[in-house]
Amino acid sequence: MKRKALLAVLISMALCMATAVPAWAASTSKGDLPEGTALTVQASQDGSWIINKKSGTYVTKAQKKLFNQAVKGYTGMSFEPVFVMATQVVAGTNYAYFCKASTVTQNPKTSWKVVIINKNLKGKVTLKKINNFNYKKISTLKNAPKTSGMTGAWKNNSKAYTPNGIPAAALKAFNKANAKYVGVDLTPLALLSTQTVAGTNYRYLCRGVVPGKKAVNFYAVDVYKNLKGAAKITSCRVVNMEKYLTY
């Protein structure tokens, strides 16, 4: 009887081991997964968009390759992806790229777009939607410095960023203005446009976090630099991402 009982226990243990969850399934390290296994992002299983929290990160080579596959064959406009704004886990993964767009004309016109692409579960990449990024209507802050004098039109920046980031003069103006700004911790990502006044107005797209809070958002920020070089943030408004992430 003792032998039969022991045999039964051994058989039971063998069955449990055969049906147990593999060790890699509980791992949180992507490097521990077997080749070809996707790591599920728990935070986005409900299909919500997840804002990219990596401050100051421009588009990687892998992200650019993915983007180029999606827009291949698109005519009338060329795109330069700056960074991935957000991702969404659906039937595969959606990526929302913030891009500089230029018309394919003799005198190219620059604009800003949020381009949404999808990489499905089989690895196929498709272009889903191109949304205009409309940042022009930004309310000024109370007690903002007056910029009276000759006022020129806002001009979209043809150079959103260089390999080292935002153009030096614009970055210097931002850093001066941001040094005394409180309320939001801002990281400039792209110089959107400029305006010649009695000095210069700069408009940036920034990633920002309110101190004490975890939520990351994008902000449209205006900086005024006067003729003496002093700079101040005159407008800082959170970007309503919902309208840019539709497809």
What domains does the chain contain, in order, with CATH numbers? 42-132 (3.10.450), 155-242 (3.10.450)
Q: What is the pLDDT of residues 188-233, one digit of tens each?
A: 988 888 888 888 999 999 999 988 888 889 999 999 999 999 999 9
Q: What is the pLDDT of residue 63?
A: 93
Q: What is the pLDDT of residue 195?
A: 85
String of DSSP letters for 193-206: EEEEESEEEEEEEE
Amino acid letter, 217:
N
Q: What is the pLDDT of residue 65?
A: 94
Q: What is the pLDDT of residue 25?
A: 26
Bridge partners, 59 (sequence order): none
Q: What is the pLDDT of residue 39?
A: 24
How many C-beta atoms surround the C-beta of residue 12 within 10 A?
A: 10
Q: Which helix (H) or strand (E) holds 11?
A: helix 2-19
3-state secondary structure at position 74: coil
Q: What is the pLDDT of residue 193?
A: 84
Separation CA 148–CA 154 (nearest Å): 15
Q: What is the pLDDT of residue 134?
A: 78
Q: What is the pLDDT of residues 164-187, one digit of tens each?
A: 568 888 999 999 999 989 889 999
Q: What is the pLDDT of residue 124?
A: 95
Q: Are 67 and 115 in contact (CB under 8 A)?
A: yes
Residues in the chain where the model's pLDDT stays below 70? 1-46, 55-56, 135-153, 156-165
Q: What is the pLDDT of residue 29?
A: 27
Q: What is the pLDDT of residue 6?
A: 46
Separation CA 205–CA 138 (nearest Å): 12
Separation CA 105–CA 188 (nearest Å): 30
CA distances from 176 to 61, 125, 143 (A): 32, 42, 18
Q: What is the pLDDT of residue 16?
A: 40
